[in-house]
Amino acid sequence: MNQTVKFVVVLLVFGAVSGGVLAFSNNMTAPIIAERAYEEGIKAYKDLFTDADEVLPIDEEKLAEIKSENTFVQEVFEARKDGEIIGYAFKAKSSGYGGDIITVAAFNLDGTVQGIKVLQNSETPGLGTKIVDEPSYASSFVGKSLTDELVLSPSPSGDNEVQLISGATISSNGVLVGVNGARKAYLNYFTDTPVVEEEEDDRGFGPNGLVFKEADEFVAIDAAKLEEIKANNRFVQEIYEAKQGEETKGYSCWTVSGGYGGEIKTVTGISLDGTITEIRVIENVETPGLGTKIVNDPAFQESFVGKKVANGLVLSPSPVEDNEVLLLSGATVSSEGVLYGVNGAIDAYLNYLSE
Partner 1 sequence: MKTSNILKNGLINENAIFVQLIGMCSVLAVSTTAINSIAMGISVIAVLTCSNIFISLLRKVIPDEIRIPVFVIIIATFVTIVDMFLNAYAPDIYSALGIFIPLIVVNCLILARAEAFAYTNGVVASAIDGIGMGLGYTFAITILGIVREILGSGSVFGISLFPESFQPAGIFVAAPGAFILLGILIGIFRTILKKTQAATN
The residues of the shown chain that bind partner 1, judged by CB under 8 A, are: 3, 6-7, 10-11, 14-15, 18, 21-22, 25-26, 28-30, 32-33, 36, 98-99, 121-127, 129, 167
Q: Which is nearer to partner 1, 4 or 50 (CB)?
A: 4
Kindly state the smallest distance separating residue 89's Cβ from partner 1, in Å. Answer: 21
Kindly state the smallest distance separating residue 91's Cβ from partner 1, in Å. Answer: 17
DSSP symbol at 353: I
Q: Residue 279: phi, psi to the nearest 5?
A: -125, 155
Kindly state the smallest distance separating residue 178's Cβ from partner 1, in Å. Answer: 18
Kindly state the smallest distance separating residue 63's Cβ from partner 1, in Å. Answer: 25
Q: Which is nearer to partner 1, 14 or 273 (CB)?
A: 14
Q: Which is nearer to partner 1, 91 or 265 (CB)?
A: 91
Kindly state the smallest distance separating residue 71's Cβ from partner 1, in Å. Answer: 23
Kindly state the smallest distance separating residue 163's Cβ from partner 1, in Å. Answer: 17
Cβ 270 vs Cβ 276: under 8 Å: yes
Q: Which is nearer to partner 1, 3 or 50 (CB)?
A: 3
Q: Which is nearer to partner 1, 44 or 325 (CB)?
A: 44
Q: Which is nearer to partner 1, 7 or 95 (CB)?
A: 7
Kindly state the smallest distance separating residue 353's Cβ from partner 1, in Å. Answer: 53
Between CA 200 and CA 205, with CA 201 as vertex, the angle to 5 degrees is 130
Between CA 259 and CA 263, with CA 262 as vertex, the angle to 5 degrees is 75
Residue 73 and residue 93: Cα distance in Å, rounded? 7
CB-count exposure of residue 1 (10 Å: 0-12, 13-18, 19+): exposed
Cβ 135 vs Cβ 123: under 8 Å: no
Q: Which residues of 223-254 are buried (b: 16+ CB within 10 A; e: fewer)?
A: eeebeebeeebebbbebbbbbeeeebbbbbbb
Q: How far is CA 235 from CA 199, 257, 268, 309, 348, in A?
A: 25, 6, 12, 16, 9
Cβ 175 vs Cβ 103: under 8 Å: yes
Q: Which is nearer to partner 1, 14 or 311 (CB)?
A: 14
Kindly state the smallest distance separating residue 180's Cβ from partner 1, in Å. Answer: 24
Query: Residue 87's CB: how many other CB atoms inside 10 A?
Result: 26
Q: Which is nearer to partner 1, 35 or 321 (CB)?
A: 35
Question: Which DSSP string corresponds to 35-59?
Answer: HHHHHHHHHHHHHH-TT-SEEEEPP
Residue 337 and residue 181: Cα distance in Å, rounded? 29
Q: Which is nearer to partner 1, 32 or 223 (CB)?
A: 32
Kindly state the smallest distance separating residue 38's Cβ from partner 1, in Å. Answer: 13
Q: Kind of pairing, strands 217-220 and 276-283?
A: unpaired
Cβ 347 vs Cβ 354: under 8 Å: no
